[in-house]
Amino acid sequence: MSPLEPFGARLRHAMDSRGPLCVGIDPHASLLASWGLNDDIQGLETFTRTVVDALADQVAVFKPQSAFFERFGSRGIAVLEQAVADLRDAGALVVMDAKRGDIGSTMAAYAETYLRKDAPLFSDALTVSPYLGYGSLKPAVDLARESGAGLFVLALTSNPEGAEVQHAVRADGRTVAATMLAHLAEENAGAEPLGSFGAVVGATLGDLSSYDLAINGPLLAPGIGAQGATPADLPRVFGDAVRNVVPNVSRAVLKAGPSSAALRDAAVRFADEVREAVAAA
């Protein structure tokens, strides 16, 4: 099976043509309830199908949160598999938010689950945790390169607890987060128009000018909408790297459902706001 065009190139094209927006698919119990759905497999299936049917042909990137499907067991995974296939068939890119991280053969097995092209859950990119050491991600890095997929590595997350690890200072005077960004810059060296190995960097973190975000790769930015960040905040947070930001909006779009038209309107509004903010930067 021939490799895809590298994820970074496909991502650049998708955001330029469909708008710079990633919509999270997070079917947690309270959101299902707000749609008038039960917190069961039927509710999960109805919710997911509605989002996919409404948005798959217009949004650039989707980020399903695997945990909200896994909690329903094999039937939930089946819903996720179908959603991934349908989103990709509609021309959207899928970032599987599974935050996998392990070592050796176990990391290789996680990589094969999401990054092998003939795998049922093959996704265009996968979120991964590097906190067993960046080198532990090598099986995922290697398979992503082979298959034309990408990775988003947790670097500067928006949860307060993350700081105790990510802001820790190494013996060389560099923070752990800065070290992860440096590794990603090395992975992306020479890639055009954009590297395939990105970082997760929270949009709620404020001024990040002390960090070098110029990794020649995408910056997946959760936190817009329900967590308090707005598209207008992006230039201030990301500076010169703002054009490579993949803003993730979940609840602020999903709460517009179950109306398909309202979901589409919300996605278009956020994409337009991001586009305007980036253009003005």
| Mean pLDDT of successive 10-residue stretches along the chain, which has 281 residues | 82 96 97 98 98 98 98 98 98 98 98 97 98 97 98 95 95 97 98 98 93 98 85 94 96 96 97 92 77
Q: Among all chains, which residue has been given the structure tokens 């997760």?
A: 200
pLDDT of res. 180: 98
Q: Name all domains of the chain by residue range, CATH numbers in brackets.
A: 7-280 (3.20.20.70)
pLDDT tens digits, residue range 208-223?
Answer: 999 999 999 999 999 8
- A 10 A CB-CB count for 139 gives 20
Taking the C-alpha atoms of residue 96 and residue 48, their distance in angstroms, rounded to an integer, is 14
In angstroms, how far apart are the furthest CA atoms of the chain? 54
Give the pLDDT of residue 80: 98
Write a three-state SS string for the chain: CCCCCCHHHHHHHHHHHHCCCEEEECCCHHHHHHCCCCCCHHHHHHHHHHHHHHHCCCCCEEEEEHHHHHCCHHHHHHHHHHHHHHHHHCCCEEEEEEEECCCHHHHHHHHHHHHCCCCCCCCCEEEECCCCCHHHHHHHHHHHHHHCCEEEEEEECCCHHHHHHHCCECCCCCEHHHHHHHHHHHHCCCCCCCCCEEEEECCCCCCCCCCCCCCCCCEEEEEECCCCECHHHHHHHHHHHHHHEEEEECHHHHCCCCCHHHHHHHHHHHHHHHHHHHHHC
Q: What's residue 3's pLDDT?
A: 60
Active-site annotation, residues: 99
pLDDT at residue number 225 = 79
60, 93 contact by CB (below 8 A):
yes
Q: What is the pLDDT of residue 1?
A: 43
